[in-house]
Amino acid sequence: MARWLLRATFSEGMCYRQREVVQRNRRIGVGILGFQEWLYKGWHLRFDHLTLAHHGVRETLKEMRESIWLEAEAYAAELGIAFPVKVTTVAPTGTTAKISGTTEGIHPVFSRYFIRRVRFADNDVMVEVAENLGLHVEDDLMNPHTKIVSYPCRDAALDVVPESHLCQADEISPHQLLTVQRVVQDFYADNAVSFTVNFDPEKFGPAYVEDVLATHGRYLKGTTFMPEGSYEQAPIERISRERYDELVLEGETYAASSALDCVGGACPIR
């Protein structure tokens, strides 16, 4: 990946100013996907149990970072270009992670079971297909000539991590979430880490958030705090396993149709 990203710095289509900066810095960013699954597969570790002192995770991240640095250095010398100023990162990986069926970057799953709402033009053939499969279809309240199809989803991480170990975002405190980012920031990434802390503002008020930022903020780069708030027809909605089972039973044709399965919340592309 380090070699591929270095080759990408030769891409065409840059203006001369951008080209000058790229040639000088050769900045790359080898990133991470599926971090929550990786913690379980490597150490049977829950996301909310990772600490700054966990030796195995720390040393493995450092080893990965060193391998990437060494390869980037060797390949830059081979190509006769400047050594990249930065080599490792955690980038926003929403779409990429959904396509590959993994958790996004170093985020925990949003929810083990959820409803994914997908918008279609009201004359799209997929709307009729969804209705025939017994899926819930409704008008988009904000956009005319648009229908919303609700797909009951089971996160693909459950194929790797037992339900008892797969904690979801609303079960993890902002303090613990930032602890995970800090581990990755300290021992792997030299670029910014893209990380969003979803939290309940009624449960974690301003004083708590201020304290958490005072504790972790100076060690982090790239953090976003996102207060969760319910609004109508949200793209994703948490549900219980019982509710998921009910929805699947209500649409038996859908449950039997693997072609329309929203693996990890990644609904089919048509």
The residue ranges of every structural domain in the chain are 2-107+161-227, 113-154+240-260
The mean-pLDDT minimum among 161-175, 180-194, 203-217, 251-265 falls in 251-265
Structural tokens at position 66: 């060193």
Strands 113-121 and 236-239: antiparallel
Task: Say yes or no to pLDDT of 169 above 80.
Answer: yes
Contact present, 50 and 40 (Cβ < 8 Å): no
Provide φ and ψ at 216, rounded to 5°.
-110, -25
Separation of alpha carbons 10 and 4, rounded Å: 10
Angle, CA of 46, 33 and 26, to the nearest 5°: 135
Task: Say yes or no to pLDDT of 270 above 50.
Answer: no
Going by C-alpha positions, the residue among 238, 230, 235, 233 that lies closest to residue 267 is 235
Q: What is the pLDDT of residue 229?
A: 81
- pLDDT tens-digit readout, 48-97: 999 999 999 999 999 999 999 999 999 999 999 999 999 999 999 888 99
Separation of alpha carbons 154 and 114, rounded Å: 7
Q: What is the pLDDT of residue 248?
A: 87
CATH architecture of 113-154+240-260: Alpha-Beta Complex (3.90)
Q: What is the pLDDT of residue 266?
A: 57
The mean-pLDDT minimum among 61-65, 91-95, 183-187, 204-208 falls in 91-95
Task: Say yes or no to pLDDT of 262 above 70.
Answer: no
Going by C-alpha positions, the residue among 117, 134, 145 that lies closest to residue 239 is 117
Q: What is the pLDDT of residue 269?
A: 52
Q: What is the pLDDT of residue 94?
A: 86
Q: How far is CA 89 from CA 14, 30, 62, 194, 222, in A?
A: 22, 6, 13, 8, 10
Q: How far is CA 249 from CA 51, 148, 255, in A?
A: 40, 20, 7
CATH architecture of 2-107+161-227: Alpha-Beta Barrel (3.20)
Separation of alpha carbons 31 and 87, rounded Å: 9
Structural tokens at position 199: 């939290």
Mean pLDDT of all residues in 215-231: 90
Q: Which amino acid is at 23?
A: Q
- pLDDT tens-digit readout, 231-260: 889 999 999 999 999 998 876 544 444 444
Task: Say yes or no to pLDDT of 103 above 80.
Answer: yes
Non-local CB neighbours of 136 within 8 Å, separated by 6+ positions: 149, 150
Q: What is the pLDDT of residue 251?
A: 67
Task: Say yes or no to pLDDT of 102 above 50.
Answer: yes
Other beta carbons less than 10 A from residue 237's beta carbon: 15
Please state at what angle helix 206-216 crosses helix 174-187, rounded to 10 degrees.
20
Length of the chain in terms of residues written: 270
Q: What is the pTM of this model?
A: 0.87
